[in-house]
């Protein structure tokens, strides 16, 4: 049975049993305490915590999840995966154990031709919590499981909580017997390799108090409403139903694994080492594809780092398999999309952008790998030069932390150079990093952000009606006031308050469009200046501002008015963003997908996926195309339609956005058509003019253009025109000849600078003969100290020191110290000859003495070294310190 069919059967079964089918949530968790959704119940946490009233009593879902805490075990075991899907059914105060247990058993054991999974009942075992007699009775008497196949476990195995005070309860788990060839008889208590967990039923019926660990917290009492939370791993069930040994051999992962084997010329089953690498590649490519499709982009922090780390581990394992540095991820991304698209059709829709992001990261890591290899080689050379055979653990950690080198890459490279690696120090530093991350996570782990105040308002009063598409002002009623996080009956002058209205013309920040500003006023009694509007939970607009005068009271009727000039300017920017998006896609192809935007008054930025930068001519073409379109004064139309119909007509959807069944489409003829909830102009001619201000990189595979719109663009062009006129006047050249004239001036200037530098260097070196003639004796050592003119570069100081040293020969120890202030900070160079080194004088030691006097540091080779500091007034003292050090040594 294919994975997609398993998911379909699961949802169909529970839908027939009164459950609402809830689509998988985006992998980017709404819960701010989580980077990514890591369990099937995460989207339902607000309901279990009582922060939101669920819109249904029963629900079922197939939830996408990513968990990387055991990422180093991926590929090595049969059960670890970074991406997995949780089949779940949930009850919110509706049914409890008496229904949840039979539901699970019936679905697992009902014959395939009757819609079930057809598992033989005699190969299923059950575990319950130690004192959960109720669950055991249901299993025995209602379901008919023999008592000898029911086992009891303690809190560590069969009790669930979120790890913080809140809901908790006993669990009952269903295990599958893989057969005697996999281990000993006796159920899960005897051998968990033979008996693998299939389904976990959580009976959420108690409230727990504070404590750490899985079993050292108090149970405070029963919850007012008992809930059901179950989870069954789709991939694990697929291994059973498809008759394979591990999740990597199921249909979806095996398709990617086979493609990786084909590309690298390695057969699955050849060796344990290559099998592990193939399994890592298959798992990680599926995970990366799903993450990118849900809007995650590679970066060096948070969820972006998760994606980057996964892709780099993939590349590393591909290089181990293939023995080359070819690029393979494009083909493997295609395999991952093909494997998962039957369940998640958006993968095909998003394919161009997914490829663009992953391809760019692969090329970027190739450059990073070269830089990291250089760092490794230097560290290895230092180790061998010092006679060592062990590569530093701290260097290995730096390679991992800075360059994303997996430790196995460092181990292999070290072995190639005859070195071992101080793994103990590396592991200790990794552990310290993980401990720090855990402490940071624990400090903010609240189970979920406290949205209960907002949720209560939404539940009691309903969603905020948005009037702003047609009205810029209107009457509304205050549903709630929040000051300092607490609901209050009134807000007074000077209070920083949040206001919830039943209806509003204010646009809440979303989709890249900044929020409206304006005022809320109560006739003759109070005014609040609104400077921000947000949606902390879907459907509820929260107006934030400072009470200017009087007071506002819950249930007051207010007049809401936005700043219309600001709204018009922001709307122009938003419409310009759509035009720029279309022009970029025309220039670069469909892979130029939107990766973020910000629309503010008169100015915008637009992020898009691209493998390379746009050159000046391409930017000019995009700008010309946008202005040509807007000059046609195309009407801007918006309408509501179904999501499927919108996508069918070619409307573009933004990654990471969540869309309902009904969506709003904004179109500008056939030139631009996007799903968008923002505000726009009535016709493109209202934009006036769009001026692109530049293009830059904001991350791997993501570029950014910025632009001015309307009056702001006109002002920008006016300033630039004035500047060009002044340049033309000063250079006495027509405007069209300015580039050539400026190039000529710059060429002359660079030539003059080089000549000045040559003369300055010659002047410095002219002093060499006199300095050598004036060398002073300190014992057997001949010493020269000299302060060169300010502005002398470090390179010229080095040349001077070496010239003087050469003139003094090798018959006696020689030390030369010269210093200057090139650019506000002092620099000193010390050179000694071989005789001086033999006598125990090292240039690096002498420079260190001088640099400390200058308030800095330095170093170099034994024969010549350079240092500097922060105190230009201490140069003479630094030279005397060198002289004193030599006197003491001789």
Which residues are part of a known binding site for Zn(2+)? 574, 578, 676, 680
Nearest CA to 678 among 516, 487, 839?
516
SS3 875: helix
Are 161 and 227 a contacting pair, CB within 8 Å?
Answer: no
How open is the CA angle 506-509-515, to the nearest 5 degrees?
50
Dist. CA 173–CA 310, nearest whole Å: 31
Which DSSP category does 703 fall into? E
Which DSSP category does 42 fall into? G
SS3 content of the chain, % helix, strand, coil (to 5): 45, 25, 30
Dist. CA 601–CA 623, nearest whole Å: 19
Dist. CA 613–CA 615, nearest whole Å: 6
Dist. CA 880–CA 776, nearest whole Å: 13
Distances (CA, A) of 720 to 375, 714, 727, 745: 45, 10, 11, 20
SS3 693: strand
In a 13 Å sphere around the CA of 382, the CA atoms on its Cβ side amount to 9
Nearest CA to 579 among 683, 449, 497?
683
Q: Provide DSSP, 90-127.
A: EEESS--HHHHHHHHHHHHHS-GGGTS----GGGEEEE
Dist. CA 300–CA 303, nearest whole Å: 9
Dist. CA 554–CA 541, nearest whole Å: 16
What backbone phi and psi angles, to 5 degrees, belong to 25? -70, 160
Neighbouring-strand partners of residue 148? none
Neighbouring-strand partners of residue 165? none
Nearest CA to 826 among 853, 861, 863?
853
Structure tokens at 193: 């390799």
Q: Report the phi/psi class of residue 812: left, alpha or beta, with left for phi > 0 and alpha for psi in -120 to 50.
A: beta
Question: Hey, which bits of 633-754 come out as E strands?
Answer: 637-642, 662-668, 672-675, 690-699, 702-709
In a 13 Å sphere around the CA of 75, the CA atoms on its Cβ side amount to 22
- CA distance from start to end of the chain: 87
Question: Hey, which bits of 383-522 come out as E strands?
Answer: 390-391, 420-421, 465-466, 473-483, 486-488, 490-492, 496-501, 503-504, 518-522
Are 259 and 335 a contacting pair, CB within 8 Å?
Answer: yes
Nearest CA to 853 among 830, 880, 829, 832?
880
| H/E segment holding residue 381 | helix 351-385
Dist. CA 489–CA 501, nearest whole Å: 14
Q: Which residues are known binding-site members?
A: 574, 578, 676, 680
Dist. CA 37–CA 43, nearest whole Å: 8
| H/E segment holding residue 66 | strand 58-66
What backbone phi and psi angles, to 5 degrees, belong to 593? -90, 155
Which distant-in-sequence residues (6+ apart) come within 8 Å of 92 by Cβ? 44, 47, 48, 54, 56, 57, 58, 59, 225, 227
Dist. CA 816–CA 92, nearest whole Å: 84
Do you know the residue count of the chain? 890
Are 158 and 128 a contacting pair, CB within 8 Å?
Answer: yes
Which distant-in-sequence residues (6+ apart) come within 8 Å of 36 by Cβ? 27, 28, 29, 65, 66, 67, 291, 296, 303, 306
């Amino acid at each position: 049975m294919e994975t997609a069919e398993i998911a379909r059967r699961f949802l169909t079964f529970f839908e027939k049993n009164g459950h609402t089918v809830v689509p998988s949530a985006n992998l980017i968790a709404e819960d701010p305490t989580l980077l990514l959704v890591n369990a099937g119940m995460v989207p339902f946490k607000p309901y279990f915590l009582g922060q939101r009233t669920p819109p249904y009593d029963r629900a079922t879902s197939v939830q996408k999840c990513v968990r990387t805490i055991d990422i180093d075990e991926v590929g090595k075991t049969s059960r670890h995966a970074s991406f997995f899907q949780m089949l779940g059914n949930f009850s919110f105060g509706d049914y409890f154990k008496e229904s949840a247990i039979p539901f699970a058993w019936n679905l697992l054991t009902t014959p395939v031709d009757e819609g079930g999974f057809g598992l033989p009942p005699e190969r299923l075992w059950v575990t319950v919590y130690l004192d959960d007699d109720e669950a055991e009775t249901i299993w025995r008497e209602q379901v008919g499981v023999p008592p000898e196949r029911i086992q009891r476990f303690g809190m560590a195995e069969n009790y669930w909580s979120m790890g913080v005070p809140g809901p908790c309860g006993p669990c009952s788990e269903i295990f599958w017997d893989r057969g005697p060839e996999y281990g000993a008889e006796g159920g899960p208590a005897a051998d968990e390799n033979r008996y693998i967990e299939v389904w976990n039923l959580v009976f959420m019926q108690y409230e727990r108090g504070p404590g750490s660990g899985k079993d050292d917290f108090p149970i405070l009492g029963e919850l007012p409403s008992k809930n059901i939370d179950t989870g069954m791993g789709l991939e694990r069930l697929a291994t059973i139903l498809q008759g394979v040994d591990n999740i990597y051999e199921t249909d979806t992962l095996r398709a990617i694994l086979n493609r990786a084997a084909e590309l690298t010329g390695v057969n699955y089953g050849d060796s344990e080492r290559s099998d592990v690498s193939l399994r890592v590649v298959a798992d990680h490519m599926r995970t990366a594809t799903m993450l990118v499709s849900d809007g995650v982009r590679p970066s060096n922090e948070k969820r972006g780092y998760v994606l980057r780390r996964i892709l780099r581990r993939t590349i590393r394992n591909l290089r181990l398999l293939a023995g080359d540095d070819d690029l393979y991820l494009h083909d493997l991304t295609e395999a991952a999309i093909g494997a998962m698209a039957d369940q998640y059709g958006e993968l095909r829709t998003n394919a161009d952008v997914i490829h663009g992001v992953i391809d760019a990261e692969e090329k970027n890591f190739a450059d990073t790998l070269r830089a990291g290899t250089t760092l490794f080689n230097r560290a290895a050379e230092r180790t061998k030069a010092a006679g060592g055979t062990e590569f530093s653990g701290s260097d290995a950690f730096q390679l991992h932390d800075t360059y994303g080198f997996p430790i196995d890459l460092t181990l292999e490279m070290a072995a190639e150079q005859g070195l071992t690696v101080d793994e103990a120090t590396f592991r200790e530093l990794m552990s310290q990093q993980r401990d720090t991350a855990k402490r940071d996570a624990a400090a903010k782990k609240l189970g979920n952000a406290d949205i209960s105040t907002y949720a209560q308002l939404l539940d009691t009063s309903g969603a905020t009606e948005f009037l702003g598409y047609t009205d810029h002002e209107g009457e509304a009623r205050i549903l709630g006031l929040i000051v300092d996080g607490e609901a209050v009956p009134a807000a007074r002058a000077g209070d920083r308050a949040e206001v919830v209205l039943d209806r509003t013309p204010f646009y809440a920040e979303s989709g890249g469009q900044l929020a409206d500003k304006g005022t809320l006023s109560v006739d003759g009694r109070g005014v609040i200046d609104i400077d921000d509007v947000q949606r902390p939970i879907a459907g509820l607009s929260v107006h934030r501002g400072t009470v200017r005068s009087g007071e506002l009271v819950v249930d007051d009727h207010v007049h809401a008015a936005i700043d219309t000039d600001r709204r018009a300017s922001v709307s122009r920017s938003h419409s310009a963003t759509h035009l720029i998006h279309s022009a970029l896609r025309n220039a670069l192809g469909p892979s130029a997908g939107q990766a973020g935007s910000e629309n503010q008054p008169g100015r915008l930025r637009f992020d898009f996926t691209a493998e390379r930068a746009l050159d000046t001519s391409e930017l000019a073409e995009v700008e010309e195309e946008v202005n040509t379109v807007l000059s046609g004064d195309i009407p801007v139309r918006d309408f509501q339609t179904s999501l499927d119909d919108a996508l069918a007509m070619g409307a573009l959807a933004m990654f990471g956005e969540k869309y309902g069944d009904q969506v709003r489409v904004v179109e500008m003829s056939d030139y631009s058509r996007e799903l968008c909830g923002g505000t726009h102009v009535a016709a493109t001619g209202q934009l006036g003019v769009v001026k692109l201000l530049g293009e830059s990189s904001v991350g791997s595979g993501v570029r950014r253009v910025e632009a001015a719109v309307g009056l702001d663009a006109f002002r920008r062009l006016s300033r630039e025109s004035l500047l060009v006129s002044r340049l033309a006047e000063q250079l006495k050249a027509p405007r069209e000849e300015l580039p050539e004239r400026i190039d000529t001036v710059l060429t002359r200037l660079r030539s003059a600078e080089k000549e000045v530098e040559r003369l300055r260097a010659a002047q410095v070196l002219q002093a060499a003969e006199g300095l050598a003639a004036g060398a002073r004796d300190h014992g057997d050592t001949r010493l020269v100290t000299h302060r060169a003119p300010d502005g002398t570069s470090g390179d010229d100081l080095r040349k001077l020191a070496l010239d003087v040293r050469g003139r003094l020969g090798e018959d006696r120890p020689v030390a030369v110290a010269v210093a200057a202030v090139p650019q506000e900070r002092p620099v000193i160079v010390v050179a000694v000859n071989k005789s001086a080194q033999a006598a125990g004088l090292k240039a690096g030691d002498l420079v260190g003495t001088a640099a400390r006097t200058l308030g800095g540091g330095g170093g170099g080779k034994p024969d010549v070294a350079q240092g500097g500091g922060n105190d230009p007034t201490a140069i003479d003292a630094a030279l005397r310190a060198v002289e004193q050090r030599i006197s003491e040594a001789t």
